């Protein structure tokens, strides 16, 4: 079944050019089965790109999906028009009385800031407190994962000496886990971050289970509350050219940036990227939707 989005949503036209099905039909015409309700807190600066990337990976599931998009109420986006935000986004007070089958909290390029200095930290912690009683399963991605681990479990953020940037091989530590059903023993994930959570810090928390990791880029997926929470370092939803755009943007600004690892063919930025993460990325999101978001045994508190 296609994901339901407004026909005027900019992501719709972009994804239709890739032969990805979306619809604006009323829910009752989509499927006789239950429609999955998702909430996405989009903290990324390029919100339309993030919408496209997330809708792409979510659309591979046969489920009927509806999505509400929210942004922090007190934060003004510098890279997405106010008209787009006003037309397609809500604020937390508009949705806090609702219940959702799943939620995604994106990353944000604010790793250099202490959490308490983020201008929407107070609102974010209110959302964090709300999630356990209103959402069945939540994906916390990249900075969203670091922030969630810090708030819920006291896991500290550790800054890296050099940006973790590229497409890295990762290993599934528990091949029987439903989130990694159908995965190869080694899979690739794009990374683009200046911080991490360290294994020794996570292993001190009894309620956290490490599911996957990389010898080069560190921890990847961490589970809590039997699948109600997944903290994920990396961006399996990234498009083929996302890291290239970040690399050339930083070059144009004369910022210190290394060539993304294992990304360009022959590690030469004059060559196109070698795309090796998308099949596993699609499977990752599909597994999450089917095994956890739609799990009747995984009830909210």
Which domains are seen in the chain, by residue range?
3-293 (3.40.50.880)
Identify the band that residue 238 occupies on the pLDDT scale cut at 50, 70 and 90.
very high
pLDDT at 30 over 70: no
User: Would the CA dihedral through 187, 241, 257, 195 be positive or negative?
Assistant: negative
pTM (global) more than 0.85:
yes
pLDDT greater at residue 136 or residue 31:
136
User: Where residue 23 falls among pLDDT bands split at 50, 70, 90?
Assistant: low
pLDDT, greater one: 208 or 79: 208
Whether residue 211 has pLDDT greater than 90: yes
Task: For the chain, give the percent of residues with pLDDT over 70.
Answer: 92
Active-site residue, from 142, 164, 220, 280: 142
Q: Residue 151 pLDDT > 70, yes or no?
A: yes
pLDDT of 263 higher than 60: yes
- Distant-in-sequence, close-in-space partners of 285: CB < 8 Å, separation ≥ 6: 57, 58, 60, 61, 236, 237
The whole-number average pLDDT for the span 133-143 is 98
**Alpha-carbon span 136 to 39, nearest angstrom:** 11
Q: Which of 51, 223, 237, 246 is catalytic?
A: 237
- Eight-class DSSP state of 90: B
- Looking at residue 29, what is its pLDDT? 46
Instruction: Kindly report which listed range (31-45, 128-142, 249-263) carries the lowest average pLDDT score.
Output: 31-45
Our answer to whether residue 142 is catalytic in this structure is yes
Distances in whole angstroms, Cα of residue 82 to Cα of each of 55, 89, 107: 21, 10, 20
Residue 2, H or E segment: none
DSSP at 184 = -
Asked if pLDDT for residue 123 goes beyond 50, the answer is yes
Q: Over range 180-186, report the average pLDDT.
A: 95
Confidence at 295, pLDDT banded by 50, 70, 90: confident
Q: What backbone phi and psi angles, to 5 degrees, belong to 244?
A: -60, -45
pLDDT for 50-69, tens place per residue? 999 999 999 998 899 999 99
pLDDT over 80 at 251, yes or no: yes
Over residues 93-103, the mean pLDDT reads: 97
Q: Does the pLDDT of residue 26 top 70, yes or no?
A: no
- Catalytic one of 196, 235, 246, 294: 235
Q: Do the beta carbons of residue 4 and residue 67 sit within 8 Å?
A: yes
Q: State yes or no: is 235 an active-site residue.
A: yes
Looking at every residue in the chain, the average pLDDT score rounds to 92
Q: Is 99 designated active site? A: no
């Amino acid at each position: 079944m296609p994901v339901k989005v407004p026909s005027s949503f900019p992501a719709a036209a972009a994804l239709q050019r890739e032969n990805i099905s979306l619809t604006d039909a009323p829910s009752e015409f989509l499927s006789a089965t239950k429609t999955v309700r998702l909430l996405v807190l989009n903290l990324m600066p390029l919100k339309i790109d993030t919408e496209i990337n997330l809708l792409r990976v979510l659309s591979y599931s046969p489920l009927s999906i509806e999505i509400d998009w929210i942004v922090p109420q007190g934060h003004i986006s510098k890279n997405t028009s106010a008209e787009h935000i006003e037309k397609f986004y809500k604020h937390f007070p508009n949705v806090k009385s609702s219940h959702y089958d799943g939620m995604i909290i994106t990353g944000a390029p604010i790793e250099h800031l202490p959490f308490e200095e983020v201008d929407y930290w107070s609102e974010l912690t209110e959302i964090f407190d709300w999630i356990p009683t209103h959402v069945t399963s939540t994906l916390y991605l990249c900075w969203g994962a670091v922030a969630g681990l810090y708030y819920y479990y006291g896991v500290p953020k550790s800054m890296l000496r050099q940006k973790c940037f590229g497409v890295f091989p990762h290993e599934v530590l528990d091949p029987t886990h439903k989130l990694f059903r159908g995965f190869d023993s080694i899979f690739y994930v794009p990374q683009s971050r200046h911080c991490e959570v360290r294994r020794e810090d996570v292993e001190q928390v009894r309620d956290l289970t490490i599911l996957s990791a990389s010898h080069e880029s560190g921890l990847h997926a961490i589970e809590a509350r039997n699948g109600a929470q997944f903290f994920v370092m990396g961006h399996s939803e990234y498009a083929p050219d996302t890291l290239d755009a970040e690399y050339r943007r930083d070059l144009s600004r004369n910022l210190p940036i290394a060539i993304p690892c294992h990304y360009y063919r022959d590690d030469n930025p004059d060559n196109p990227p070698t795309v090796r993460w998308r099949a596993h990325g699609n499977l990752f999101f599909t597994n999450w939707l089917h095994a956890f978001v739609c799990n009747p045994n995984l009830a909210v508190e």
